[in-house]
Amino acid sequence: MSNSGGNNKPTKNIIIGCSGSVATIKLPLLIKLLLDSESPYKFVIKIVVTDRAKHFFDSKDIPLGIQIFNDDDEWKMWKKRGDPVLHIDLGKWADLFVIAPLDANSMAKLSTGICDNLLMCTARAWDLSKPFIFCPAMNTKMYNHPITEEQIEKLKGWGYREVPCISKTLVCGDTGNGAMAEVQTIYQEIIDSLSSTLTPAASAIPASASS
Ligand SMILES: Cc1cc2nc3c(=O)[nH]c(=O)nc-3n(C[C@H](O)[C@H](O)[C@H](O)COP(=O)(O)O)c2cc1C
């Protein structure tokens, strides 16, 4: 569902999902990079958060006009037949879905098909022909548990793109792997994923010719 935005940049609709990792504090920074004038796309962003993710950012730090959705919105919107079903409509609207951060709990749910909140329902209903990026973030001990690799491999097997964790001193004080990738790396994966999903015919059209 792409149009052309101002300055001949193609418009891309993206969902940023956040789960209950402390790395959710980086959400405003990721948004800032995406909305930067240097970005090759004009991004329209919607945010989907779990209840726990809400703890790690202040909605006042999110630019006006960017909608933030949580489980309550899904249920408030649907009263009767014909009303919007948010997790389905979000998926139809978006060109790309990135979950940054994906915590251990939501990763376990995602890899087993559990959909007990808006974020997981949106992920479960996602059209797999469109890019889906996940950015794990967890304590080193959680990361080192054998289930982590198993679940990451399962997600990648479905075509999801991983932005791997990095090693550093975590907020809890432990040093090791498990920190969410740098925001710049996540931004670049978003750009690369969108660019690689352009069909040869579409990418051959000069920007000035798109409407
Ligand atoms: C301060 C704090 C920081 C946390 N950071 C992480 C984290 O980085 N990664 C993780 O997997 N869980 C983390 N957790 C635990 C999750 O928030 C917890 O598993 C929660 O149930 C996740 O719910 P959700 O997946 O629905 O967002 C943290 C918890 C607290 C209290």
- Look up the CATH number of the domain holding residue 94: 3.40.50.1950
Do the Cβ atoms of 123 and 97 come closer than 8 Å? Answer: yes
The pLDDT value given to residue 173: 82
Nearest protein Cα to ligand 1, atom 5: 21
Q: Tell me if 23 is assigned to some domain.
A: yes
The pLDDT value given to residue 170: 78
State the DSSP H helix or E strand holding residue 15, giving kind and residue range, or none if neither: strand 10-18
The Å distance, Cα 113 to ligand 1 centre, comes to 19
Burial of 62 (0-12, 13-18, 19+ CB in 10 A): middle
Nearest protein Cα to ligand 1, atom 23: 20
Q: Tell me if 209 is assigned to some domain.
A: no
Q: Tell me if 85 is assigned to some domain.
A: yes
CA dihedral 91, 94, 99, 105 (to 10 degrees): -10
The pLDDT value given to residue 105: 98
The β-bridge relationship of strands 166-169 and 161-162 is unpaired
The pLDDT value given to residue 8: 85
Do the Cβ atoms of 16 and 169 come closer than 8 Å? Answer: no
For 108, the domain range is 13-197
Long-range own/partner contacts, residues 65-72 (CB < 8 A, 24 or more apart)? 66/31, 69/118, 70/118, 71/117, 71/118
Domain count across the chain: 1
The pLDDT value given to residue 207: 38
138 lines ligand 1 (CB under 6 A): yes
Q: Tell me if 175 is assigned to some domain.
A: yes
Q: Tell me if 64 is assigned to some domain.
A: yes
Q: Which of 115, 135, 165, 172 is catalytic?
A: 172
Q: pLDDT tens digits for the chain (211 residues)?
A: 455 545 689 999 999 999 999 999 999 999 999 999 899 999 999 999 999 999 999 999 999 999 999 999 999 999 999 999 999 999 999 999 999 999 999 999 999 999 999 999 999 999 999 999 999 999 999 999 999 999 999 999 999 999 999 998 877 888 889 999 999 999 999 999 999 875 444 433 333 333 3
Active site residue 172: yes
Q: Tell me if 138 is assigned to some domain.
A: yes
24 lines ligand 1 (CB under 6 A): no
Do the Cβ atoms of 16 and 31 come closer than 8 Å? Answer: yes
Q: Tell me if 208 is assigned to some domain.
A: no
52 lines ligand 1 (CB under 6 A): yes
To test the pocket of ligand 1, the residue of 47, 52, 71 to mutate (highest count of ligand atoms within 8 Å of its CB) is: 52
The pLDDT value given to residue 3: 57
Phi, psi of 159, rounded to the nearest 5 degrees = 95, 0
Q: Both tokens of residue 125?
A: 């209903």
The pLDDT value given to residue 147: 98
Question: Please, what is the end-to-end C-alpha distance for the chain in angstroms?
Answer: 13
The pLDDT value given to residue 4: 55
